[in-house]
Amino acid sequence: MQTIDITLTINEQTHTLAVKPNDTLLEVVRDYLDLTGSKEGCGEGVCGSCTVLLDGHPVRACLTLALEADGSAVTTVEGLADEDTLSPLQQSFIDHGAVQCGFCTPGMLMSATALLKEQPSPDRKAVRKALSGNICRCTGYAKIVDAVEHAARPEPGCPDCHTKDTGENHD
Amino acid sequence: MRLPQFTYHSPDTLEGVLALLDEYRDQAGVLAGGTDLLVRMKHRLTLPKVLVSLKHLDTLSYIKETSGMLCIGAKTPIIDVIRSDKVHQQAPALGQACERIGAVSIQHFRGTMGGNILQDNRCIHYNQSQFHRSGRQPCHKDGGKICYARDEADRCNSTCQSDGATALTALDAQLTLNSTRGERRVALDAFYTTDGIHPFDMQPDELLTQIDIPVVPGAVSTYERLSFRSAIDYPIVCAGVRLVPDPDDSGCIGSARIVVGAMGRSPLFLAQVSRSLAGVTFDDTAALEKAGKDAMNAAAAFAAHNAGAELAYRQAMVEKMVARALTQAAARPSARKAR
């Protein structure tokens, strides 16, 4: 089968890869590059667990051909942390208990990262809308929305926003 | 889920795309955003041998106003339509419809305006995985002779669930189709074949390039939609309306266009109900609500069990969607000015 060389900048690292026409971006990041943070849930653009940023915009990696992403910059969930330091959003997910089974988390983080980049201090409605394409089958939406809402703007009365100060809930 | 195998082309020019479509015809699929096509390919509902990508055709991505028309390039991403002030001012129904298409991370950046109009008709019995479909006889759209949406139907009863198409039909939009044979323009409401299997009057070598929306002074338009989950599901009923004030400045509706979507095999332009609104004042709520009821009666016959909600519910909701859209349109500031 025909293979085509493409160049992808993934998490600020440039890769030149020979891909098949029917490889999706998700298959390339997971199977070629072992970046298994992005998950395949439904594989048909419904659940959102494969969301990555393509040139800064959230897209479904399972419905994007790798060839269509040629020459683009891709950010996956692995690209959010700065080495050992989690991004404020990731930390907020931990602090607010927004991770249950964790399968939807990479997609939630990517959709929310895109939102916060555009709207640094979104209200609850904006957060819910931005995350409306991501499904959490543990149904832990309230805490996820809390985590995003409070990531950029810790809320005075919220006990979880301050766990990182006391170091109580995590090692 | 793996995609089936295909050969990939991404020409740099429109001529290049048209030449490939002319060469491969039925065997070619046009890839713009892929949010509809790739899902159908994964389900093995369509198996193009060749995919012609519009990746390099950024010349087809624009929103501009020329000589009384709002022109939208077929490859314009949904997000650009949502963010366009021109669209919200001149064709608010389209802006509202685009805001309701899918979720930010599914369609808005990858999905395109042209792709939204050209999304294939859907049916809850047909748009299923290959495994699901393998357990029973194929339906009409799948190459068989059975319809699961309507008992003993001799033809396909899939429905057009495009938000954009319903709004654009209400706005009386026109499409420009290009092929190596030349260019052709067609009104959107004449573009549908009422055949659920091949819903569009479009040859395999043609490419949708532009959508033109007439800018009518004083016209108001709105779009209303009902779906189970806002971001993930297609509409189970939707309605687009456009009201043009009477040119004599009498505070009356001069002409109306009422379109009901997700009921028939194409967006249903209800000509008779639309005509009944001519001469009605914008604040005549009773007349607008009656039009909703008439729209329900006219559209109900087209409904089939193809969208996963109870038929009686969907039929009843036509009235609500149309009445709501009309009331909102009539209450828009520019309609008030006409009073």
pLDDT for the residue numbered A167? 46
Chain B touched by A84 (CB under 8 Å): no
Cβ contact, residue pair A63, B51, below 8 Å: no
The pLDDT tens digits along chain B (339 residues) read 899 999 999 999 999 999 999 999 999 999 999 999 999 999 999 999 999 999 999 999 999 999 899 999 999 999 999 999 999 999 999 999 999 998 887 678 889 999 999 999 999 999 999 999 999 999 999 999 999 999 989 999 999 999 999 999 999 999 999 999 999 999 999 999 989 999 999 999 999 999 999 999 999 999 999 998 888 889 999 999 999 999 887 889 999 999 999 999 999 999 999 999 999 999 999 999 999 999 999 999 999 999 988 999 999 999 999 999 999 999 987 665 655
More confident residue, B339 or A46: A46
| CA B299 to chain CA mean position, Å | 16
Cβ contact, residue pair A132, B230, below 8 Å: yes
DSSP strand pairing (B7-9 vs B50-53):
parallel
Residues 226-255 of B with CB under 8 A from A: 230-232
CA–CA distances in Å: residue B309 to residues A103, B60, B152: 29, 37, 20
Cβ contact, residue pair B232, A133, below 8 Å: yes
First to last CA, chain A: 49
Of the pLDDT bands very low, low, confident and very high (cuts 50, 70, 90), residue A112 is very high
Chain B touched by A44 (CB under 8 Å): yes
Of the pLDDT bands very low, low, confident and very high (cuts 50, 70, 90), residue A166 is very low
Cβ contact, residue pair A43, B42, below 8 Å: yes
Q: Find the CB nearest B109 among A1, A48, A58.
A: A58
ipTM over 0.85: yes
CB-CB neighbors (< 8 A) of B132 in chain A: none
Q: Which residue, B101, B83, B78, is CA-closest to B223?
A: B101
Residue B200 φ/ψ, nearest 5 degrees: -110, 140
CB-CB neighbors (< 8 A) of B51 in chain A: 21
Nearest 10 degrees: CA dihedral of B53, B56, B57, B58?
130
| CA A24 to chain CA mean position, Å | 17
In the Cβ-directed half-sphere of B274, how many Cα atoms lie within 13 Å?
21
Q: Which residue, B198, B152, B205, B163, is CA-closest to B181?
A: B205
Output b/e per residue, A67-106; b: 16+ Cβ within 10 A.
Answer: bbbbebbbbbbbbbeeeeeebbbbbbbbbbebbeeebbbb
Cβ contact, residue pair B43, A44, below 8 Å: yes
Chain A touched by B104 (CB under 8 Å): yes
pLDDT for the residue numbered A171? 45
CB-CB neighbors (< 8 A) of A110 in chain B: 105
Cβ contact, residue pair A58, B51, below 8 Å: no
pLDDT for the residue numbered A168? 47
CA of B188 vs chain A CAs: smallest distance (Å): 28
Cβ contact, residue pair A44, B39, below 8 Å: yes
Cβ contact, residue pair A44, B1, below 8 Å: yes
CA of B119 vs chain A CAs: smallest distance (Å): 15
What is the pTM assigned to this prediction? 0.93
CA of B247 vs chain A CAs: smallest distance (Å): 40
Chain A touched by B42 (CB under 8 Å): yes
Chain B touched by A134 (CB under 8 Å): yes
